[in-house]
C-alpha cells in the first residue's frame, strides 16, 4: 500500500487514473515477458471488490505502517479488523507542543510526521529541502518522497546519526520494516547490512 506519486498510475480493475497522493493497493505479479515481478495498482475500493479467495490482513500489507493513521484505520475496517485509537484532528502547532512535552500517542506521532511532510511539500521546493539536508550533514540522494521523508524525520528526531557499521551512511526510519536502517553502499556491489 502506498500513495500514488503521480497521476499517471492506472487502476488494473476499473482502468481509471489513480490521482496523485491517493491511497492505492498494489499486487506483485509475475511477468510473462521478463524474469521477475512488477506491481499492478488498484484503487482501494476496486482492490476490495476483486474476486479473490486469498484472505490477508493488515499484517500482510507491505508499507501499512508508513501511511497516515486515518488511512490505516480505513484499511483495518475494510479488512474486518478492529479499529484502533482514532486521531482527533489537531493543528501542526498543537502536535508540536505535545511533542515538546513528550506526550504524543502513536497515532499523534504519525499525524505529526505527515503534517510536517505536507507542510514541507507545500512551502519548500526540493532544492530548499536538499539544502537543509546538506546543512545538517544528511544524504540528499533519492527521489522527492525520500527527501521529504528524510527532512521530516530530521525535524522530528533531530539530525539523523551516522551508521555505526559503515560510518558513512545516515540512518533512516524504514516504515516497512519498522526499524532504523542504513542504505549506504558498503562497497561497489553491496549495501550496508545495518
Q: Answer yes or no: pTM beyond 0.85.
A: no
- Give residue-wise pLDDT tens across range 28-78: 999 899 989 999 999 999 999 887 767 888 888 888 888 998 899 999 999
Query: How confident is the model over 146-187, as pLDDT tens digits?
Result: 888 888 888 877 888 888 888 888 887 776 667 888 888 777
170-180 tens-digit pLDDT: 887 776 667 88
Q: Give the Cα separation of 129 and 149 in Å (integer).
A: 10
Q: Specify the CATH number of the domain 92-160.
A: 1.10.20.130
Q: Where are the domains of the chain?
A: 2-78, 92-160
Q: 3.50.50.60, 3.30.1740.10, 3.40.190.10, 1.20.1070.10: which CATH number matches 2-78?
A: 3.30.1740.10
SS3 annotation, the chain: CEECCCCCCECCCCCCECCCCCEEEEEEEECCCCCCEEEEEEEHHHHHHCCCCCCCCHHHCCCHHHCCHHHHHHHHHHCCCCCCCCCCCCCHHHHHHHHHCCCCCHHHHHHHHHHHHHHHHHHCCHHHHHHHHHHCCCCCCCCHHHHHHHHHHHHHHCCCCECCCCCCCEEEEECCCCEEEECCECCCCCECCC
Amino acid at each position: 500500500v502506498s500513495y500514488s506519486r503521480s497521476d499517471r498510475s492506472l487502476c488494473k480493475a476499473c482502468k481509471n487514473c489513480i490521482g496523485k497522493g491517493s491511497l492505492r493497493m498494489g499486487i506483485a505479479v509475475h511477468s510473462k515477458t521478463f524474469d521477475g515481478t512488477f506491481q499492478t495498482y488498484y484503487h482501494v475500493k476496486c482492490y476490495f471488490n476483486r474476486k479473490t479467495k486469498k484472505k490477508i490482513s493488515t499484517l500482510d500489507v507491505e508499507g501499512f505502517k508508513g501511511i497516515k493513521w486515518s488511512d490505516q484505520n480505513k484499511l483495518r475496517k475494510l479488512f474486518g479488523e478492529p479499529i484502533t485509537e482514532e486521531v482527533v484532528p489537531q493543528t501542526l502547532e498543537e502536535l508540536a507542543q505535545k511533542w515538546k512535552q513528550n506526550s504524543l500517542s502513536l497515532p499523534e506521532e504519525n499525524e505529526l510526521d505527515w503534517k510536517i511532510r505536507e507542510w514541507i511539500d507545500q512551502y519548500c521546493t526540493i532544492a530548499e529541502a536538499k539544502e537543509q539536508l546538506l546543512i545538517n550533514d544528511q544524504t540528499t540522494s533519492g527521489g522527492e518522497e525520500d527527501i521529504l521523508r528524510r527532512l521530516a524525520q530530521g525535524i522530528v528526531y533531530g539530525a539523523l546519526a551516522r551508521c555505526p557499521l559503515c560510518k558513512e551512511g545516515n540512518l533512516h526510519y524504514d516504515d516497512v520494516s519498522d526499524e532504523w536502517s542504513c542504505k549506504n553502499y558498503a562497497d561497489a556491489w553491496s549495501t550496508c547490512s545495518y
